[in-house]
Amino acid sequence: MKSSRIFGNLLVFGYLFALLIGITYALSGKTMFFPKQVLAFQADMLAPFGFYDRENYDVLIEVQSADGSWETIDPETLVSLPRGKRTSLFLLAALSDEERTARFEEFASNLLTYLKHQRQPAQALRISLVTWPQSPDGQDAGRTPEATKTHLLVTVP
């Protein structure tokens, strides 16, 4: 009888401890006692305390060819990201404007160098952020030409 009571108390305290750690990570981004990967999963499970965005967003990478036209490149074929492109964009949104611009400029210059080494005619490269409102019908349902906004992040000659 006494052992079941001790086990129940330990279970409740363990749950409250894990919840407190997860809420601390979700609200402040600071990790305590656990690796960040464990807390990232737990913070994703705390939906009421998590980040909610009313817009969908995507990265648009375009390369300027020798004739001056811009060609769109699919980022999934160029970049392999461990938690996905959307999560990486979410993490980049947490950076300050100066740091984000510096990271995108570095990424764009490295990507342009890579494309030139692949013998693709690339004069310049630009990276834009495309946003459109979320829809209950699906991620791309609200992606209409009149609702889509494009924000230029960086251009590298």
- The per-residue DSSP string of 74-128 comes to -HHHH---TT-HHHHHHHHHTS-HHHHHHHHHHHHHHHHHHHHHTT---SEEEEE
- The mean pLDDT value of the chain amounts to 78
Residues 31 and 107 in one domain: no
Which bin fits 52, alpha (ψ -120 to 50), beta or left (φ > 0)? Answer: beta
Residues 40 and 9 in one domain: yes
Give the pLDDT band of residue 90 (cuts 50, 70, 90): low
Give the pLDDT band of residue 149 (cuts 50, 70, 90): very high
Residues 105 and 127 in one domain: yes
Residues 44 and 64 in one domain: no
Residues 64 and 25 in one domain: no
Residues 126 and 148 in one domain: yes
Please state, as a whole number, how many other Cβ atoms lie within 10 Å of the Cβ of residue 127. Answer: 19
Amino acid present at 129: L
Number of domains within the chain: 2
Question: Is pTM beyond 0.75 here?
Answer: no
29-73, pLDDT tens digit by residue?
676 776 766 666 655 565 555 556 678 878 888 999 888 899 888
Q: Which domain holds residue 38?
A: 2-49
Averaged pLDDT, 106-122? 83
- Residue 135 tokens, joined: 């829809």
